[in-house]
Amino acid sequence: MTMLRVRDMTVRFGGIVALDGISLDLNRGEILGLIGPNGAGKTTLFNCISGVIHPDRGSIFFEGHSLVYAPPHVRARFGIARTFQNLQLWGSMTVEENLVVPMDALGRRNTFSDALYLPFSAYAERASRERARAILHVLELDRYARTLAADLPAGIQRRVEIARALAMRPRLLLLDEPAAGLDAQETARLAELLHAVRQRFHVSMLLVDHDMSLVLRVCDYVYVLDFGKLLARGQPSAIRSDPKVIAAYLGEESNQSTGETTTVVAAPKQAAPLLEVKQLAAGYGGLEVIRDVSLQVRPGEVVACIGANGAGKTTTLRAISGMIHPRRGRVMFAGIEVTGRSAERISKLGLIHIPEGRGLFPRLTVEDTLRLVSNTAGHEVDITPAFQLFPKLRERRRQLVGTLSGGEQQMVAMGRAILSKPRLVMIDEMSQGLAPSVVQQLFEIIRVFRDEGIAVLLVEQFVESALDVADRAYVFEHGSIGLSGAAVDLRRDRKLVAGSYLGTAVETPAMAAANGNEHRVDPALMEIVSVRVPAKVKRALEQRAEAEGRPTGAVAIELLEKVDRQ
């Protein structure tokens, strides 16, 4: 039974096509996964389904109803609930209140009778709270019922978001990166939880996440997006070994060898590290993205950081360069302690960071941008070396940076880097959004950097090319370093690296009863949640239960058992 039917969904933001004619089917009772590299359009698709964005073209049918013009709250009434990547809890309310709001909203409570505390308002209020507590019980959140949502740690907040979505009695649950910020153990528990939720609450789910281990454990079927288009779809195990998918994540398997793999020798092994990071921890708001990252870069070295999205590579670079403040750990550059210093100061010390998205100024011309280096240096800097390195930029010197192609923008960023004569350049996702030929050119430039004696710390999605040019590499996993070693060694074992991205084959644990965890669930409470009875019957049960001073569920079970015996 097709519950959700998306056809030909297209969304354009300015010149960028976020979604390009996507079609998707979700069946009742299914857990559907949606994966793809960064910027593939997954969150955009979610936003279209939940009604936050209007697509340029396309249709959405939910259980036969067209959702085209429905505002978000109407879609909620149809039974579509969602969680958010960046946690949108109502911080000033308690967990219990967070759950009660969707129940009320869908129950159409009257504003004035609420304010005047009229009797039937109070009754409805009690019923809602009881149901809320039942749901919290299933998700092991009872002890947080009266805590303000803003005071909770991130992992708990995620569970509360799921609980809140479930409070809506949804038929479809959209989960937007529920594993963000969770470590391996927490992710495994999340997988168990989702299975339990499906069973107990009879909801279908659409799951977006970068964490392949979660997706493969939990999903029945997977769609893969890339550049807004559908790349592949199928069973999780098939997807994992699909060469197209692997290429999208890791880059093409390069057939040519790079010739001399021994240019590693640039810096003697005993040289003191230029950049030293010790047990770094950092994050955003309540989320701790990196927990314990330690790495080193020696002068003149090229070091690559690879690993799945969400593993913490970008956050690490940001914490080093001062864009965000580290919470724990130390960063030393050229022997100076730079932990927590401002980004301005750190860049003046010779540590340049080219962030994700290139960090350029759209309304400045190429020439202006390059001349900006003079501001940092404090004196006029000759910009011709940049044009020598990138002749293409010379023709475009008066063009606004915002109008350049991605590759040209990257050239501007790297041109600036070379002009500032840094000691270490950190480049984040250089190849993002660029065609492979351009990417190859840029990797050549990295070699030029190394020849000039500039060390490079490179965060890359295209593992192949990164390992080609790097001396050493670190593989990030769940907020810390998983593997590390010489690039040559890692290249040889492609399977190992692929495993870090796409997850190793895991036998899906037999997800039987909800009690896959040690938690003992009171059956009486459970029944209130998952049984649908006519309202009249329910009210009668509740009245009787109140008269007897017992939970409604217990009364119901008792009656059913009686009926069963007759």
Partner 1 sequence: MAALAAYTIIGLSLGGIFSLAALGIVLIYRTTGVLNFAHGAMGMFSTFVAWQVFYGWSHPFWPGWISTLLAVIAGLVFAALMGLFLEFAVFRWVRTRDPVVKAVITIGVLLALQSAASLIWKNNQYHLPIYLAPQAATFTIADVPIGANNIVVIVAALVLAFGLGAFLRYTSFGRAMRAVSDSPASASLWGVPVGRVGAVSWMLGSLVAAVAGILITPFINFDTTSLTLLIIDALAAALIGGLVSLPLTVLGGFLLGLLETYPTIWIQSIGFPRLVALLVILAVLVVRNPRGFAVAAK
Partner 2 sequence: MTSRLMVRVLVTLVAFAVLARIPVGFDVGFKFDSGLAVIWAFGLLSLVLLTGYVGQISLCQATFAGVGAYAAGMMTATFHVDYIVAVAVGVAAAFALGIIVGLPALRLHGITLAIVTLGIALVFDRYVFQDHAFEWFTGGTGGWSVREASMFGLQMDSSKHLMAAYVVLLALFCLVGLLMVNLHDSGAGRRFRAIRDSELAAATMGVDLTRYKLLAFGMSAAIAGLGGAFYPLVAGTVSPQPFWLFTSLQFAAIAVLMGVRYVPAAALGGAFMAFVPDVLTRFGHGSLFGHQYEISYDWFQIAVGVLLIVQLIALPDGVWGDLRNRVRHARSTVGALGGRRVKVA
- By three-state DSSP, how is residue 308 classified? coil
- Bridge partners for 305 per DSSP: 459, 474
Residue choice 33, 41, 51, 286 for contact with partner 1 (CB under 8 A): 51
**Distance in angstroms (rounded) separating the CA atoms of residues 175 and 164:** 12
Range 411-450, binding partner 1 (CB under 8 A): 416
Residue choice 8, 66, 68, 72 for contact with partner 1 (CB under 8 A): 72
Q: Cβ of residue 556: shortest distance to partner 2, in angstroms?
A: 25
> Which one, 104 or 220, has the nearer CB to partner 2?
104
> Which one, 12 or 202, has the nearer CB to partner 1?
12
**Distance in angstroms (rounded) separating the CA atoms of residues 109 and 304:** 57
**Distance in angstroms (rounded) separating the CA atoms of residues 181 and 168:** 25
Q: Cβ of residue 333: shortest distance to partner 2, in angstroms?
A: 23
| Residue 10 binding partner 1, by CB under 8 A | no
**Distance in angstroms (rounded) separating the CA atoms of residues 353 and 346:** 10
Residue choice 243, 362, 453, 523 for contact with partner 1 (CB under 8 A): 362
Q: Kindly report the length of the chain.
A: 566
Q: Cβ of residue 307: shortest distance to partner 1, in angstroms?
A: 23
| Residue 71 binding partner 1, by CB under 8 A | yes
Residue 67 and residue 61 in contact, taking contact as beta carbons nearer than 8 Å: yes
**Distance in angstroms (rounded) separating the CA atoms of residues 316 and 290:** 7
- Bridge partners for 205 per DSSP: 31, 173
Tell me, by CB under 8 A, how many residues bind partner 1. Answer: 31
- Bridge partners for 274 per DSSP: none
DSSP string, 110-148: -HHHHHTT-HHHHHHHHHHHHHHHHHHHHTT-GGGTTSB
Give burial (CB, 10 Å; 0-12/13-18/19+) of 100.
buried
Compute CA 136 distance to the chain's CA centroid, rounded to the nearest angstrom: 25
| Residue 363 binding partner 1, by CB under 8 A | yes
> Which one, 281 or 352, has the nearer CB to partner 2?
281
> Which one, 19 or 219, has the nearer CB to partner 1?
19
Residue choice 22, 154, 168, 360 for contact with partner 1 (CB under 8 A): 360
**Distance in angstroms (rounded) separating the CA atoms of residues 368 and 353:** 19
Q: Cβ of residue 284: shortest distance to partner 2, in angstroms?
A: 8
| Residue 102 binding partner 1, by CB under 8 A | no
> Which one, 80 or 467, has the nearer CB to partner 2?
80
Indicate the angle between helix axes 95-107 and 154-166, nearest 10 degrees: 20
Report the phi/psi class of residue 56: left, alpha or beta, with left for phi > 0 and alpha for psi in -120 to 50. Answer: alpha
Distances (CA, A) of 419 to 33, 380, 384: 45, 11, 9
> Which one, 89 or 215, has the nearer CB to partner 1?
89
The two structure tokens encoding residue 264: 């590693």
The one of partner 2, partner 1, none whose footprint includes residue 73, by CB under 5 to 8 A per kind, is: partner 2
The one of partner 2, partner 1, none whose footprint includes residue 464, by CB under 5 to 8 A per kind, is: none
| Residue 397 binding partner 1, by CB under 8 A | no
Given the rule CB under 8 A, which of 255-263, 267-275, 371-379, 523-531 is the region that contacts partner 1? 371-379
Range 315-344, binding partner 1 (CB under 8 A): 321-323, 342-344
Given the rule CB under 8 A, which of 20-28, 51-59, 236-244, 257-265 is the region that contacts partner 1? 51-59
Instruction: Give the distance between the most distant pair of CA atoms in the chain.
Output: 96
> Which one, 60 or 297, has the nearer CB to partner 2?
60
The one of partner 2, partner 1, none whose footprint includes residue 164, by CB under 5 to 8 A per kind, is: partner 2
Q: Cβ of residue 302: shortest distance to partner 2, in angstroms?
A: 33
The two structure tokens encoding residue 237: 């195990």
- Bridge partners for 295 per DSSP: 277
Residue choice 368, 464, 477, 489 for contact with partner 1 (CB under 8 A): 368
Can you tell me which residue has the tokens 């007897």?
A: 548
Q: Please give the residue ranges that form the binding site for partner 2 (CB under 8 A).
A: 50-52, 71-73, 75-77, 81-82, 84, 88-93, 97, 100-102, 104-106, 109, 111, 114-117, 121-122, 124-125, 128, 144, 146-148, 150-154, 164-165, 168, 281, 285-286, 288, 327-328
Residue choice 107, 153, 243, 359 for contact with partner 1 (CB under 8 A): 359
**Distance in angstroms (rounded) separating the CA atoms of residues 166 and 202:** 10
- Bridge partners for 328 per DSSP: 281
**Distance in angstroms (rounded) separating the CA atoms of residues 432 and 99:** 39
> Which one, 199 or 420, has the nearer CB to partner 1?
420
Strand locations in 417-557, DSSP E? 424-428, 455-459, 472-477, 480-486
> Which one, 114 or 368, has the nearer CB to partner 1?
368
The one of partner 2, partner 1, none whose footprint includes residue 523, by CB under 5 to 8 A per kind, is: none
Q: Which residues bind partner 1 (CB under 8 A)?
A: 51-54, 71-72, 88, 321-323, 342-344, 347-348, 353, 355, 359-364, 368, 371-376, 416
